[in-house]
Structure 1
Amino acid sequence: MNSSGRVCARCSRIKQRCDGNSPCSRCTRLGHMCKPRSPRSPCDKENPVAFHADSGRKKKCDENRPRCSDCHRLNTGCQWPVSIDDTELEHTDPDASTPACQMPISPTADTIDVSDGDPLAFDSTTLDDEEFIASLFPHPLPKRNAALVIDRSLLSANPYLRSDEDRSLFNHYIQVVARALSRSHDSDRNPFLVTLLPLAATSDTVTSVILSLSGCHWRRVYPSIWRCALRRQGKALTQVNTLLGRLDRQYIFEACATVLLLCLTELFDGTSRVWKWHLKAASAILKSPAFQDLVSTDEWTFCISLFHYLDSMSTVSRCKAPLLHNGDSMTELTTSLRRSSVPELKRSQSTDAIYGISPALFDLLGMVNLLANHRNKRVDELSEIGFRAAATHLENRIDEWRADQDHDADQEPDTERATSAFEWAIRLRLHQVVEGYDPRHEFVERAIVTILDSVQEIPYASRVEGCLLFPLVIAGSSSVSMERRMMVKERLMVMENTLGFSHIQYARQLLETVWSEAEGDLNWASVRYSQFPGVVFI
């Protein structure tokens, strides 16, 4: 009961009951800053709350101009009553006072609707989800109605863009997808732009796979664009076989980059199993004599970094050794942080932008999942002793890595937080492999607290936000309390909006499936394989 009459700004914005305390119980529970609602201005009384023109729906309008979020999401026209605000709007946007036209089925090459507050954000959630996400942000959600102007110089430099849909997809890749893939906000250090755009300007195959990847990202907002992207994907698959038949270093680089981007496209789809074949094909290319001519070049670094990243992360789903370690025994893999089969990756623009955190962590994750692959080989006391000895050795490796990291004081705060979350996700994964899935174990509690505390300190849309999916899934799968589960779910919902790929949504659905069966067996791996075979937590 709110006897004080006070309502905080957050509860007011999401139209929820506030208990009037300072801070209120809702903000306290969710860990938000609780501020009093600003006094209503005189103009608020003159302008009643706006509702959609469709009176049958009776949904409150967020009043974004020229088209509100709900009409944008449903791809319908948006009509506005004449008001004082319309007069002001005419001075800034001459078209805003007229009803917005319905969006075309396929976006044109001149304007593409994206969010002007965050270059990675786009409309992919329901209105209820938007209100839920709005309760998490300390500031209003970015507007979704800005027109994004295509960089004509980049488009004109590519002769393989043959239609408006091609140009729209290519522009979407440049402006949104390449930035979502990179852990660096500096476009000059983004290999998905710096390395791939010049290559696409000389390669129809690479252009096609870029358009396919862009369409995969955009399909939830513009489903019809996926048809164009699928045609391009099929074209890239056909052409890559021709490239592999040539020994020139340029062609082998094109082939490797194409196969890796095909793998990314299938992974981000979230339901496909085809990515495994692309990953194996990339492994064969990287080990071929023709590719060795590229060693130590920027092209080599990009391909080996991206492959190593995908290879290590995919071991979580497969519980097998990384492909670059194929043939190594458990003892061999766990006695060396880096074997000769994985060339040393020095700091570079590619490694910084692809990993975001230390590449050594991905080696450690691969080792943990190789160990997981040997769980069923513990058939007697001797094999159990060997298994636990390997696990102890691997834990020591993680400790040694952490000791080395503590001497490096140059990391940015967000990078260090993401590193800590990822490290403890690996430690928790190792504990699960060795000790089982008891969520009430003391070590599990310590790991979850460390992971979630680190994640909470990383701002939304941070450049390292893409590093958080694996830690969130690992921590969420072992979380028992509703508060922690909601904390994980909230962050994943935000990442669905800021990063935009479908595999994040499927990862969240995976966790919800695990939670729904939490009263029984918490061995979430069996649930993953039966219902979410394509999810990889990259």
Structure 2
Amino acid sequence: MSSCSDSPMNTPTLESNVTSVSGTYSKSRTGSTDGSDEVVPKTEERELLLSEVKVESFAEEPPISPTEPVRIRRGRGRPRLYPPRSPTTSKATKARSKTGCTTCRKRKKKCDETKPFCLSCQKNNIHCEGYKPVEIWKSGKERAAEARRGSTDVKFELPPLMEGVENDIDRLLLQHFVSRASCVLSLHEDQSTNPFTKILLPMALRHEGLMHSVLCLSASHLCSINKSQEYEDRMAHHRGQALHLLNQDLERHKAGETGGIIYEDSNVAQILLHLLHSITDGNTSGEYRMHMIAAKKIAMTQKSKNPEFQSLFDEFFYYHWIASQVTSLDDAEVPMMDDFNLPFQVNPSTAALIGVSDGLFGFISKISNLRRRMRSRVDEGLEPIMDYEALLAAHAIDSGLRSWVCPQTPGTPRYTISMLYRQATWVYLYRTTKDSKPHPFIKSAVDDGIRYIKELPAEGWIQSNVLLPLFLIGCAAFEEDQRVEINRAFSGLMACTGLGNITYAKEVVDRIWALMDARDPDSWDWEKIIHANGWDFLAT
């Protein structure tokens, strides 16, 4: 009897081997006629082998006729206008430049980008609009932050507190006028007693035209110390505004049909400040004369109701009027009383200028009148130049100076500057009446004058009155050692005050020295030298 392994039911077939290799059995039961169950193996799909593929035969196509066109099947869609270029022959694409000039970009022309204007526009005779500014790229976050700052950082300018003081520069000019310029123009260092700050400044706070005049004078003084286009622009602005408002006031104040003008104190103050502006500015065209003429008319026709302002006006006007005779060929004589006093009184202790309050300018005016008389005799060829009347006038002036008593307290700077004016007045008289040659008398007088100058404080308010006596003594310095001291005094005066007219006064003195060394007899007549140069300025 055979074993179970030999039974046909247990003998593995080919199909069962193939199936066992590729997977496991999956049994299903089917019904049979005899009621027995038969196990049917389930096969899975496998990959198709190349050897099992049968070659399908195709019918042979007829050969293509050479006379028939070849039909090429094109792809669907819009036909190409040009065949595509091969990658090897195609040109590299270039991005369009956005840095050309505005004109070329509008015309859609190539720009050579020459700065500041391109050559393409110039060759085609076209106006080149230039280039747009380069904009720095900013992210959206940065742009939003700028927008927020622009909306929150809104600043409103405060309106001016005082009429005429319009910006920060004007406020600086006002401060300079109070702290420096007012001290240069007066003998008062203390602002509480300085007439410019005590009298004129409160008037300027109530009058716009006077405030413009104050700022113009301050800007002029700053420019003489340190040249600045910014200060020059403000000076021109305030000067134009001041003159415009002054003319408006004068038109409004015309009295009746005669056309006479009644000047208010603020307008008179403006005239004085414009007169002083010609000094600080160093003007040599005689600009001060029109202001001097107006001030002279005011002095002769009207008086102020304010006694302090009237005293200030009298002193400043007569000081500059008499001093102008020292450097000009004007034939008009200043009216003087027989006792050499001015037709008004100024308290020496409160005087802003030396020479007027103490009576010395009465002597200077007489000497100027004597010089005009002698110059006329020289021009007409009359002999002798010193006639009998001139000799009597010179003797009277000399006697008056010897009997003059200084009203200032000895040992003070005011006393020293008064004695300096007395010394310079005598030198002025000597150079008018004596020959232009060295002499022991004039040498001694100049040496004493230099000693007075050296005794004065080198800085401060006292230097504001030094220029006129320094000029007169300098025009009589025959000795070389004297000229060294005069040069040192001029340099110190310029550094201290910064007045623009000092430079021209020094040039005249240098010219006089050259004539002295050449033994020129006309070296006494510096007025002619100034006139020959086309200059007209105040040595104050």
**TM above 0.5:** yes
CA separation in 2, counterparts of 1:353 and 1:442?
35
CA separation in 2, counterparts of 1:356 and 1:362?
5
CA pair 160-250 structure 1, distance change in 2 beyond 3 A: farther
- The residue identity in structure 1 corresponding to 2:539 is F
User: Corresponding residue for 2:439?
Assistant: 441
Alpha-carbon deviation of 1:165? 2.4
- The residue identity in structure 2 corresponding to 1:344 is Q
| Structure of higher CA gyration radius | 2
| Post-superposition CA distance 1:153-178 (Å, at most 9, x none) | xx976232112222222221112111
CA separation in 2, counterparts of 1:437 and 1:380?
17
Q: What SS does structure 1 have at the residue aligned with 2:264?
A: helix
| Post-superposition CA distance 1:112-143 (Å, at most 9, x none) | xxxxxxxxxxxxxxxxxxxxxxxxxxxxxxxx
CA separation in 1, counterparts of 2:496 and 2:465?
13
Q: What SS does structure 2 have at the residue aligned with 1:219?
A: helix
| Partner of residue 316 from structure 1, selected from 323, 326, 330 | 326
Q: Is the 8 A contact 1:182 1:354 kept in 2?
A: yes
CA separation in 1, counterparts of 2:276 and 2:326?
16
- The residue identity in structure 1 corresponding to 2:487 is K
Greater shift after overlay, 477-486 or 279-288?
Answer: 477-486
CA separation in 2, counterparts of 1:298 and 1:156?
30
1:366 aligns with 2:369: no
User: Corresponding residue for 2:131?
Assistant: none
CA pair 356-314 structure 1, distance change in 2 beyond 3 A: closer
- Within-5 A mapping of 1:102-501: 158-220=162-224, 221-224=226-229, 225-245=231-251, 246=253, 252-270=264-282, 271-288=284-301, 291-294=302-305, 297-318=307-328, 320=330, 325=335, 333=336, 335-338=338-341, 342-347=343-348, 349=350, 352-355=351-354, 358-378=357-377, 379=382, 384-401=387-404, 404-405=405-406, 408=407, 410-438=409-437, 440-501=438-499
Q: Is the 8 A contact 1:283 1:324 kept in 2?
A: no
Q: Is the 8 A contact 1:183 1:354 kept in 2?
A: yes
| Post-superposition CA distance 1:496-536 (Å, at most 9, x none) | 11111111122223223333444322345133322372332
CA separation in 2, counterparts of 1:293 and 1:353?
18
Alpha-carbon deviation of 1:392? 0.9
CA pair 156-239 structure 1, distance change in 2 beyond 3 A: closer
Q: Is the 8 A contact 1:286 1:304 kept in 2?
A: yes
| Partner of residue 513 from structure 1, selected from 495, 511, 515 | 511
- The residue identity in structure 2 corresponding to 1:282 is A
CA pair 346-320 structure 1, distance change in 2 beyond 3 A: farther
CA separation in 1, counterparts of 2:167 and 2:465?
35
Q: Is the 8 A contact 2:443 2:478 kept in 1?
A: no
Q: What SS does structure 1 have at the residue aligned with 2:477?
A: coil
CA pair 298-162 structure 1, distance change in 2 beyond 3 A: same
| Post-superposition CA distance 1:432-482 (Å, at most 9, x none) | 1112322x1232112101100111111201432222212222222222333
Q: Is the 8 A contact 1:425 1:475 kept in 2?
A: yes
Q: What SS does structure 2 have at the residue aligned with 1:459?
A: coil
CA pair 247-199 structure 1, distance change in 2 beyond 3 A: farther
CA pair 320-335 structure 1, distance change in 2 beyond 3 A: farther
Alpha-carbon deviation of 1:199? 0.7
| Post-superposition CA distance 1:270-301 (Å, at most 9, x none) | 2231111211111112222xx3253x611111
Q: What SS does structure 2 have at the residue aligned with 1:338?
A: coil
Moved runs in structure 1, 4+ residues, more than 4 A?
A: 247-251, 319-324, 380-383
CA separation in 1, counterparts of 2:211 and 2:408?
41
Q: Is the 8 A contact 1:244 1:252 kept in 2?
A: no
CA pair 358-303 structure 1, distance change in 2 beyond 3 A: closer
Q: What SS does structure 2 have at the residue aligned with 1:188?
A: coil
| Post-superposition CA distance 1:314-363 (Å, at most 9, x none) | 110125577652xxxxxxx4733226xx22223463xx223387441122
CA separation in 2, counterparts of 1:371 and 1:356?
19
Structure 1 residues not aligned, in runs of 5+: 1-154, 326-332
CA pair 181-356 structure 1, distance change in 2 beyond 3 A: farther
CA separation in 2, counterparts of 1:210 and 1:391?
41
CA pair 287-356 structure 1, distance change in 2 beyond 3 A: closer
Alpha-carbon deviation of 1:388? 0.9
**Alignment length, in residue pairs?**
365
User: Corresponding residue for 1:54?
Assistant: none
Alpha-carbon deviation of 1:307? 0.5
Q: Is the 8 A contact 1:428 1:474 kept in 2?
A: yes
Q: Is the 8 A contact 1:358 1:419 kept in 2?
A: no
Alpha-carbon deviation of 1:192? 0.9
Q: Is the 8 A contact 2:285 2:536 kept in 1?
A: yes
CA separation in 2, counterparts of 1:396 and 1:494?
34
Q: Is the 8 A contact 1:160 1:201 kept in 2?
A: no
Alpha-carbon deviation of 1:310? 0.9
CA separation in 2, counterparts of 1:427 and 1:375?
17
Structure 2 residues not aligned, in runs of 5+: 1-158, 256-260
User: Corresponding residue for 1:67?
Assistant: none
Q: Is the 8 A contact 2:174 2:214 kept in 1?
A: yes
Q: What SS does structure 1 have at the residue aligned with 2:387?
A: helix
Q: Is the 8 A contact 1:200 1:206 kept in 2?
A: yes
Superposition TM-score, scaled by structure 2 size: 0.63
- The residue identity in structure 1 corresponding to 2:288 is W
CA pair 391-356 structure 1, distance change in 2 beyond 3 A: closer
CA separation in 2, counterparts of 1:436 and 1:264?
35
Alpha-carbon deviation of 1:377? 4.2
CA separation in 1, counterparts of 2:331 and 2:403?
22
- The residue identity in structure 2 corresponding to 1:269 is D
Superposition TM-score, scaled by structure 1 size: 0.63
Q: Is the 8 A contact 2:279 2:499 kept in 1?
A: no
Identity %: 19
CA separation in 2, counterparts of 1:382 and 1:536?
27
Alpha-carbon deviation of 1:181? 1.2
Q: Is the 8 A contact 2:204 2:211 kept in 1?
A: yes
CA pair 518-347 structure 1, distance change in 2 beyond 3 A: closer
- The residue identity in structure 2 corresponding to 1:363 is G
CA separation in 2, counterparts of 1:309 and 1:238?
27
CA separation in 1, counterparts of 2:183 and 2:341?
29
Q: Is the 8 A contact 2:349 2:408 kept in 1?
A: no
Alpha-carbon deviation of 1:412? 4.1
